Structure 1
């Protein structure tokens, strides 16, 4: 086993735990952020880094769209086909192409780490963050989002082990103070449902104190790499 992904809804503590586990495992482990927050990532395409620098110079914040799942958004609910919809699809398509390049670049970095004999600890994972996109029960889903999710599901490298950091939605909301409890619960259930598509899947109670969660995750990883 060479790759482990820590996933879970916002507020589960993924980044803190992933970094702590990688540190605990020592020189053989490598931490790699696999999420959409460019400000949190230390590994990205040179073109992405340049775009970030330009945006910062202009006083903006480098970020991916808040609605990264590809929904139509609040201003366009119920909008039918037309010029505006075509513009939205074209714009979303261009952005997705750029983001696909970023995703595959990080997959390449992970592959290099593995070939050098390292154990890669993923903080989040693109495949599982986008896995629910394109489902029929998500109204207003853009075609670009559906295609993006399909490409990831069929072609993106999967981690050997997926560890879901789980906590009740109200606990997650209290920690982050963002979003709504209902949306956090939906995301939580989507992550738990990944057990159906991940042969090696474990759930860790993220309501425990941080050191206890780190201990448990580290033990799970060591047990599968022994």
Structure 2
């Protein structure tokens, strides 16, 4: 519905612009007022729908091996991300955590038949019950963004994201997002999209872990 509404809005605004130019050129004041009134009514309706759907949304929490879809062009949802394992440790290699290291193994899959796909500038963030946010301290590969690599059709790969979370953290959930530039602008005003204004997000539960003394 969101994509259809946006396409109708873009098409309608284009038509309204043409009619407004014609009205000004032919000096038809009634047509100018009609076009401006119609555009105002539609934009108020669209904004109401956008905010209403977002405010009515609820956060969705996924467990281990449950997939979150990422949609190219907002239609072909062939890329998925899931969390396969979560471990905690006080030490990781020669590093000691300020709280506890959360070592999260993330799987990126592509179920397209022919085309290789990849996430665009993926971001990882942990949010806890108090809505505090935590950035990762390390990825599987420190040379660039490991999770930005292309996934062949029907393929997948896994990598680890490591967070140093405080000892008082409760209900930590992993948020994975992606997109750059114009994508973010479009999604901010796309009705029902997870990245639209005030919309609740889909996150991965990080409380199902096996605690270990140290990880190499």
Q: Give TM class, smaller chain.
A: under 0.3
Q: TM-score, normalised by structure 1?
A: 0.22
Greater RCO (Cα-Cα under 8 Å, separation 6 or more): 1
Pick the structure with more helix per residue: 1
Name the larger-Rg structure. Answer: 2
